[in-house]
Amino acid sequence: MKLQYVPMAHWPPLAWLARCPRGAGPVAVFHGPGVETTEDWFCEAVWDGAFADGDFDRTDLVFGSGARLRGGAVTFVSAGSTVDRLQSLAAGDWLWVSNSLPCLLAAVDGAVDPAYPRYFADFASIRLGLARYRRALATSAGSVRLTYFGNLVWDGARLRDQSKPAPARDFSSFARYREFLESSLRQLAVNLASTDRRRPYALLGTISSGYDSPTVAALARDAGLRDAITFDRSTRGEPDSGAAIAAALGIRLSVVPHDAWRVTALPEIPFVASDAKGEDVYFKGAEAALARRVLLTGFHGDLVWGRGFTPRGYDIVRGDQSGLSLSEYRLAVGFLHCPVPFLGVRQIAETQRISRSREMAPWDVDAGYSRPICRRILETAGVPREAFGVRKQTASVLFFERGDFLSPPSLADFRSWLERHVPGAGEAAPGLWQAPARAAERLLDEAARLSPHRLRLLQSLGTRIGARGRREPLFRYLFPWALERARQRYGALPEPRARPEPRPSVGIVDG
């Protein structure tokens, strides 16, 4: 078995697609110009080891993706997070594996069913953990297998799951956990800047007014972080800039208008095509700063660095799917995504114990919105207590709400697509329950304000009811539309030089 590379100059720089024949024939790897290739491995990744060794299949601290040939088998490596994934499909004589769903479906001429109503829920199931998420996506070309935080091994006959290494790290105290985070970031920084790369990377931070991204920036300073971006306001229009924090940390900051993405052409497509939600589309406004960077974010910090979560063993359960919709977009722009809270994430029970420990009490300022690990790191770094973590904010764009639906050019394109694929859907009237739902939200929210600590459940209930009242009825069709549009970026593959004789279908083994 060997790797045979086919450069695709017009593809997104970091996209790749492997076509595996049954038997010992070469694995054809179609790839964009930013993918690093060697005789025995290829990647668009950063990990905690020497780049030249290519041992990204032997660590859980890896961000991006790739494949490694060892001993007659090829191991496809997914990111050590759940904000990126691998896609695989057995179709006839071939097994296909890719870091891009649109790329894979373009290669096999596959499509999803526009009438299926649960794409959003299916992709959102990754929040429930690796043991409970929806693992397959039905398409006209067959069932596409989705792999998060795990590797896939192909031996020429079958594809099997392989767990990532799970070393037991010493998180017995805050000091030991902090040293692990800082040393891991230093190792990643050496790897990403390696002169053995054709295209070295540089670090780029994100700094909001909250807890998680500022904590990441503080941890990464010793690893060489010098630049960061911030978005000027939150989803609700409130100030959310991390300018004061960046100044205290000595980091250069670029302020990006939260809605800058709306003035670009069809900006929603790669984001929605990734996870049927697209909430991270606001990063489009920072595109000029993202190329050739390793983007450090705080996604999943709410649970890893919070103090109110009860872990379920070593599973990776999340509060939301934020960060996942960057997975297709980043391939086109050419950046890697490293959500730092995923470093050592399977030992979340130990980070929770640290947060609740007596030594962290001076940094546990409020039970409603408190992350003692973050506060200790930031205050020790010289950031004033009042400069961060005062109020929980979010920058997410929620396309399922009427007020945040598509930009005008995208909406026109989407409605044209609807007319062809789902006639009559564009004329659907809002449900009769929407106005009463919005009224109920206002009533419960007002009741909760009278005594917010005692009636927080009422406020939460009101928020959920109100969300139903604001739900955009056409949202369910966004994913099929975006996926079809994203496929067009890839086009047809070159004709293979030789096609193997027809053989029994490729085998896939779960577990």
What CATH number does residue 216 fall under? 3.40.50.620
Q: How many CA atoms, within 13 angstroms, populate the side-chain half-sphere of residue 177?
A: 25
Q: What is the pTM of this model?
A: 0.90
Residue identified by tokens 């302020």 is 255
CA triple 152-155-156, angle to 5 deg: 120
pLDDT in tens, 218-259: 999 999 999 999 999 988 888 889 999 999 999 999 999 999
Give the pLDDT confidence score for residue 303 in this predicted structure. 95
Residue 494 lies in a domain: no
Strands of the sheet with 142-147, listed across from one edge: 3-7, 27-31, 16-21, 94-98, 86-91, 142-147, 136-139
Torsion of CA 239, 232, 240, 447, to 10 degrees: 50
Task: Identify the band that residue 67 occupies on the pLDDT scale cut at 50, 70 and 90.
Answer: very high
Domain shared by 341 and 465, yes or no:
no
Rounded Cα distance between 227 and 479, Å, is 34
Residue 369 lies in a domain: yes
Task: Identify the band that residue 385 occupies on the pLDDT scale cut at 50, 70 and 90.
Answer: very high
| Average pLDDT across the chain, whole number | 90
| Number of folded domains that form the chain | 3
Domain shared by 249 and 382, yes or no:
yes
Domain shared by 184 and 133, yes or no:
no
Domain shared by 360 and 406, yes or no:
no
Rounded Cα distance between 322 and 212, Å, is 13
Domain shared by 262 and 145, yes or no:
no
Q: 202-212 in b/e burial notation, b at 16+ Cβ within 10 A? A: ebbbbbbbbbb
Domain shared by 190 and 264, yes or no:
yes
Domain shared by 378 and 234, yes or no:
yes
Domain shared by 111 and 52, yes or no:
yes
Residue 433 lies in a domain: yes
DSSP 297-318: E-TTHHHHS-SS----TT----
Segment holding 176, helix H or strand E: helix 174-192
Q: Is 213 in contact with 206 (CB distance < 8 Å)?
A: yes
* DSSP 8-state code for residue 126: G
* Domain end position, chosen among 387, 421, 445: 387
Q: 84-96 in b/e burial notation, b at 16+ Cβ within 10 A? A: bbbbbbbbebbbb
Domain shared by 364 and 310, yes or no:
yes
Rounded Cα distance between 388 and 375, Å, is 9
Q: Is 304 in contact with 348 (CB distance < 8 Å)?
A: yes
Residue 451 lies in a domain: yes
Rounded Cα distance between 235 and 269, Å, is 20
Residue 28 lies in a domain: yes
Q: Is the pLDDT assigned to residue 177 strictly greater than 90?
A: yes
3-state secondary structure (DSSP) of residue 122 = helix
Radius of gyration (C-alpha) of the chain in whole angstroms? 23
Rounded Cα distance between 16 and 99, Å, is 6
DSSP 245-274: HHHHHT-EEEEE-TTGGGGSSSTTHHHHHH
Domain shared by 369 and 456, yes or no:
no
What CATH number does residue 114 fall under? 3.60.20
Residue type, 61: L
Domain shared by 260 and 319, yes or no:
yes
* Domain end position, chosen among 100, 130, 165: 165
How many whole angstroms from its chain centre is CA 179? 25
| Whole-number percent of the chain with pLDDT over 90 | 77
Class of residue 382 by CB neighbours under 10 A (exposed 0-12, middle 13-18, buried 19+): exposed
Residue 472 lies in a domain: yes
Residue 136 lies in a domain: yes
Q: Is the pLDDT assigned to residue 376 strictly greater than 60?
A: yes
Torsion of CA 41, 42, 45, 50, to 10 degrees: 40
Pairing type for strands 293-297 and 202-206 reads parallel
Mean pLDDT of 330-338: 99
Task: Identify the band that residue 438 occupies on the pLDDT scale cut at 50, 70 and 90.
Answer: low
477 is in which domain, residue-wise? 402-487
Give the pLDDT confidence score for residue 504 in this predicted structure. 43
Q: What are phi and psi of 369, to 5 degrees?
A: -150, 75
Domain shared by 360 and 428, yes or no:
no
pLDDT in tens, 473-504: 999 999 999 999 999 999 888 865 444 443 44
Could you give the angle at which helices 348-356 and 174-192 cross, rounded to 10 degrees?
130
* Domain end position, chosen among 165, 183, 215: 165
How many whole angstroms from its chain centre is CA 12? 17
Rounded Cα distance between 86 and 18, Å, is 11
Residue 100 lies in a domain: yes
